[in-house]
Amino acid sequence: MKEPAAVFRDSLLIYCFIWAVLAVGCFQVLPRIEVTTTADLEPWLVPSYLTGLGGSLLAALGSMLTASAGDVRSPEGKNYRHRLAWGLGAVGFIGILFPLGLTGFVFLNAARDTDWFRGLFG
């Protein structure tokens, strides 16, 4: 079993990488394929950093709590740590996936005015 600190470090790196890929997709790819402009996305850049990095930290803390739950002897303590880890992970994943939600919103907003969208959704 890995040490909780190693689990935290590895999880934080993975979650930050996932967020960075989603952020690049949102803030670099969408303007380049001319779905939206960079100026339209600029106000969302700072909130994306805050939610992405904060969410990565929370999700990594949840992973660390799960790894350290094996050290707790009482079943109530283990159960509490697992529930807390689940809550932190859920909130963290919402923050990490913020750019994906923003991308979907922007894309559907742009697609709403196309013949394809009108034909598909009437």
> pLDDT (tens digit, 9 = 90+) per residue, 17-28?
999 999 999 999
Q: Per-residue DSSP letters for 60-73? A: HHHHHHHHHGGG--
DSSP code of 70?
Answer: G
pLDDT of residue 117: 79
Q: Supply the pLDDT for residue 72.
A: 80
Query: In the predicted model, is pLDDT for residue 122 greater than 70?
Result: no
pLDDT on residue 118: 81
Rg (CA), the chain: 19
C-beta of residue 96 within 8 angstroms of C-beta of residue 55 = yes
Residue 40: Cβ-neighbour burial (10 angstroms; 0-12, 13-18, 19+): middle
What is the pLDDT at residue 73?
86
Give Cα 23 to chain centroid, integer Å. 10
pLDDT in tens, 35-86: 888 898 899 999 999 999 999 999 999 999 999 988 888 888 889 999 999 9
Query: What's this model's pTM, rounded to 2 decimal places?
Result: 0.85
